[in-house]
């Protein structure tokens, strides 16, 4: 199993920063895989073609949980 170089990504729902790595095709059917942002539950893309997308949270200490909670509630 090989992976790509990390790609910067920002959640469109709350601005949480991730790095994405594309992983070689899975032997499993992942067409209906569901991934959500850890802060706002916005659906994130799980695959690109046959490759899986693996999300890594960047600098979680820098995130402001209070601000993200407000965004999640729509305040």
What pLDDT was estimated at residue 42? 93
Report the mean per-residue pLDDT for the chain. Answer: 78
In a domain, 12, yes or no: yes
Is residue 22 within 8 Å of residue 48, measured between CB atoms?
yes
- Residue 1 — pLDDT band, cuts 50, 70, 90? very low
In a domain, 46, yes or no: yes
SS3 71: helix
Is residue 40 within 8 Å of residue 71, measured between CB atoms?
yes
- Residue 72 — pLDDT band, cuts 50, 70, 90? low
Phi-psi region at 29: left, alpha or beta (left = phi > 0; alpha = psi -120 to 50): beta
User: What is the tens place of the pLDDT at every residue in 18-56?
Assistant: 999 998 876 766 667 789 999 899 999 988 877 888 999
In a domain, 17, yes or no: yes
In a domain, 11, yes or no: yes
- Residue 10 — pLDDT band, cuts 50, 70, 90? very high
Domain that holds residue 44: 7-66
Name the domain count of the chain: 1
How many angstroms separate the CA atoms of 1 and 27, rounded?
Answer: 11
In a domain, 61, yes or no: yes
Number of Cβ atoms within 10 Å of the Cβ of 40: 18
């Amino acid at each position: 199993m090989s992976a790509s170089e990390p790609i910067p990504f920002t959640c469109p729902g709350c601005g949480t920063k991730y790095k994405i790595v594309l992983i070689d095709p899975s032997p499993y059917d992942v067409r209906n895989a569901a991934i959500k942002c850890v802060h706002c539950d916005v659906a994130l893309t799980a695959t690109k073609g046959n490759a899986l997308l693996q999300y890594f949270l960047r600098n979680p200490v820098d995130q402001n949980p209070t601000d993200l909670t407000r965004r999640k509630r729509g305040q």
